Each structure stands twice: as C-alpha cells, then as structure tokens.
Amino acid sequence: MQTIETDKQPVILDLPPGTIERYAEASNELVQTIGLSPGPEFLMSLAVEHESPFDLTSIFLGEIIESLREPVITIEPAH
C-alpha cells in the first residue's frame, strides 16, 4: 500500500507582484476589524489549502483553449 506524506512542507513560489500586497492588505483589514491577524503568509496558506487543484487546471486549460480560438492577425511587411 502506497502512503502519502502528510507533514507540512515549505514551498518556494514566484508570485505576481500584486499577490503579496493583496494578502498584506487583507491582513491589515483583519487587524483593523478585530485587532489582530495571523499574517499574510498564513492567509495565503489557507487559500492554497482550500483551493481545488482540479478547478485551477480547468481554468488554466480554458484560458489556453480560449486563446487558441482567438483569430491570428498576420501583418505582411511593406514592400
């Protein structure tokens, strides 16, 4: 029987510039609302933990299919 390691593992990710700022803003909103926050990193881990990877792959594939359906514009060089 194959077992899966369930201990938490650190992950290093490259994130778009606005991602960290959005989680920092959400963390600040929690501080303003209830006086404390677990921090932006913890909020990100919750999002990753509760996101369905299958939903993400469907969205990713949908974006690829949509981009392939867009007409290709060719520009011919001037003579």
What domain range is 53 assigned to? 19-69
Using only C-alpha atoms, what is the Rg of the chain? 20
Q: Is 12 a domain residue?
A: no
Q: Using CA atoms of 42, 45, 46, 48 in order, give the dihedral in degrees to the nearest 10.
A: 160
Tens digit of pLDDT for each residue in 43-77? 888 887 777 777 877 887 888 888 888 877 777 77
Q: Is 10 a domain residue?
A: no
Q: Is 78 a domain residue?
A: no
Amino acid at 46: L
Separation CA 18–CA 69 (nearest Å): 29
CB 21 within 8 A of CB 29: no
Domain count, the chain: 1
Q: Tell me how many degrees the CA angle 18-20-26 measures, rounded to the nearest 5.
A: 100
Tens digit of pLDDT for each residue in 4-51? 566 777 778 788 888 889 989 999 998 999 998 999 888 888 887 777
Q: Is 44 a domain residue?
A: yes
- Predicted TM-score (pTM) of the model is 0.52
Q: Is 46 a domain residue?
A: yes
